[in-house]
A and B are shown apart, each in its own frame.
Chain A
Amino acid sequence: METDLVINFTYVLAAILFILGLKFLGHPSSARKGNALSGAAMLLAIVVTLLDRSIVSFEWILLAMFAGSIVGIFAARLVAMTAMPEMVSLFNGIGGLASLFVAWSTLEKGINLSQFVLIATMLALLIGGVTFSGSIVAWAKLSERITGRAVVFRGQAIVNSAIVVAILVAGYVLVTQPNIPNIPNILYIAMALALVMGIMLVMPIGGADMPVVISLLNSYSGLAACAAGFAIQNNLLIVAGSLVGAGGIILTSIMCKAMNRSLSNVLFSGFQPVHTSDMVIEGEVKPLSADDAYYVLEAAQSVVVVPGYGMAVAQAQHAMKELQELLENNGAEVAYAIHPVAGRMPGHMNVLLAEADVSYEQLFEMDEINNRIENFDVALVIGANDVVNPAAREMQGSPIYGMPVINADLAKNVFVLKRGMASGFAGIDNPLFFKPNSRMIFGDAKDTLNNMIRQFAD
């Protein structure tokens, strides 16, 4: 009884620390402390759980924790900052799988489980499974092991509905059967269905919508932990799991708003026929060499940089920071405009620029920069496309019409650093490239920036 009290009291303390940790994560200056607090809460919870008297054998637990720590340390050390979206989605998947195994283990052990516990366990199993396979598909898409485009086939909606029905049936059979170890086949079928469902959910989602998917899977991994908490009647799992679940949902809705789309539109738009707009874009594309761009940059008083996924691909953030310093020494003001869905996950650009040592005070959100974008002499668009597409503002009928964008075209001069004329992930032409004040600088973004840096040095 006394150990139980100690354990539960410590869980309360851990819950408080988790909440404070998340609160401190709300500001860049205290965020590191917040993360440490949350880590301390986790350590506390793990240590006190090991005191549980119902634990009779520690061999496997300690071995598993040791092995897991080694893998975790290496993964965290070795991952490149540009690969962070893949990493986070892989971790989401692992978290989901862990919850699936907790649920599975509960069922294997389970004799005389109450209806409520059975339902919760099934939920943990199913959400965990969907999170795992969905995250693996997201990871494969992000790391370009499979195509990043939306993958759709005829009758997908029907197949998906059939899977949902099958899951419900299997779940019902399991929940109404008091002795689950006697019917392992149905349990395996339910797990397999959940895994297939996760794949089917993420396959039809295109690369540009990945920030939404990662946020959603993040939420699922929390919800799976939460359901596992109900399954084993553990308060701390419920608290921590639902904090993460709620957080993921908030991020998902922020991402959806940033794209002016509803969640169901993001999840299911792959099933609808693609719009083809017959809009004609007037004007011509005017290419410019990096050397010529240098003269304009040298004269500029203020420069706004709009980074996109292309900056991550070209690893151009360090070169950009170097150019920023040269511009500042030359007397120009440099600001960065970050669109909420630039890149492949929420805050992707911020992390890359932080890696390059750019002060977070120079990064501005879309609304702040749009208010004063006309005052900038040069807008430098690095590997961004859809998030600066003026069609969202001026072309009714364009698939992205209504999406809030950074109005780079309103700056006095626009330089677009781009590999070629290919359209962005949304597959839409960008009238920005044809505007009279915009110039295209073709080539690898990093090479182009280095070229400009050399010009400054001479």
Chain B
Amino acid sequence: MDAIYLLFILILSIFVGFELIHKVPATLHTPLMSGANAISGITVVGAITISGGPLDQYATYLGAFAVFLATINVVGGYLVTDRMLAMFKKKEG
């Protein structure tokens, strides 16, 4: 039953994703991509959960490394997207 419930969530979010991204104009495709990339850094949440076990376990180290990688993705992704979007301006006046 758990599997079915998770699949439901998957299918619905895929449709939401299609609808949302389709409306983004070509001008914003690069920031959209790096913003989406930052969102995919959500793995960090999973990595935190898994690396919180007792110390000196192999799995903990692997998980902590995943936290490190995913944090780069999240922090770098959001900052660089913001930097790009700050440049998108209308003509003044």
| Chain A interface residues toward B at CB < 8 A | 18-19, 21-23, 25-29, 31-32, 34-36, 38-39, 42, 45-46, 49-50, 52, 54-61, 63-65, 67-69, 71-73, 75-77, 79, 81, 84, 87-88, 91-92, 94-95, 97-99, 101-102, 104-106, 108-109, 116, 214-215, 218, 221-222, 224-226, 228-251, 254, 338, 340, 345-348, 350-351, 354-355, 357, 359-363, 365
Contacts and interface: CB of A to CB of B under 8 A. Distances in A.
A266 B77 CA distance: 27
Given A102-B63, A347-B32, A234 B75 contact: no
A46 B30 CA distance: 25
Interface residues of B, number: 82
Given A71-B72, A116-B3, 11 more contacts: A52-B52, A64-B67, A65-B67, A72-B72, A76-B77, A102-B63, A108-B62, A109-B59, A235-B6, A235-B9, A360-B88
Contacts of A22: 17, 20-21, 35-36, 39
Contacts of B64: 60-61, 63-64
B80 to A, nearest CB: 4
B45 to A, nearest CB: 5
Interface string B17-44: 1101111111111111111111111111
Given A57-B54, A228-B46, A360 B37 contact: no
Contacts of A75: 72, 76, 80
Nearest to B87: A354
B30 A218 contact: no
A251 B21 contact: yes
Contacts of B45: 45-46, 49, 234, 236-237
A27 B60 CA distance: 42
A363 B27 contact: yes
Nearest to B48: A49
Contacts of A239: 9, 13
A74 B24 CA distance: 28
A221 B73 CA distance: 11
A42 B24 contact: no
A6 to B, nearest CB: 14
Nearest to B82: A35
A95 B13 contact: no
Most central of B39, B58, B82 by chain A CB within 10 Å? B39
A354 B62 CA distance: 40
A240 B91 contact: no
Nearest to B30: A347
Given A95-B40, A360-B90, A243 B13 contact: yes
A59 B77 CA distance: 24
Contacts of B42: 42, 45, 225, 236-237, 240-241
A359 B90 contact: yes
B8 to A, nearest CB: 10
Given A32-B86, A244-B37, A38 B29 contact: no
A348 B30 contact: yes
A247 B20 contact: yes
Given A69-B71, A105-B59, A241 B40 contact: yes
A229 B35 CA distance: 19
Contacts of B82: 32, 35-36, 39
Given A218-B33, A340-B26, A42 B79 contact: no
A350 B27 contact: yes
23 contacts: A22-B17, A28-B27, A36-B82, A39-B82, A42-B42, A57-B60, A59-B55, A75-B72, A95-B69, A98-B66, A105-B47, A218-B36, A226-B10, A229-B6, A235-B9, A236-B45, A245-B14, A247-B21, A251-B33, A347-B26, A360-B27, A360-B89, A365-B26
Contact of B2 (A77, A95, A233): A233
Given A69-B71, A104-B62, A350-B26, A98 B43 contact: yes
Nearest to B91: A359
A21 to B, nearest CB: 8
Contacts of A233: 2, 6
A76 B48 contact: no
B73 A109 contact: no
B47 A102 contact: yes
B78 A42 contact: yes
A28 B28 contact: yes
B65 A64 contact: yes
Nearest to A240: B42
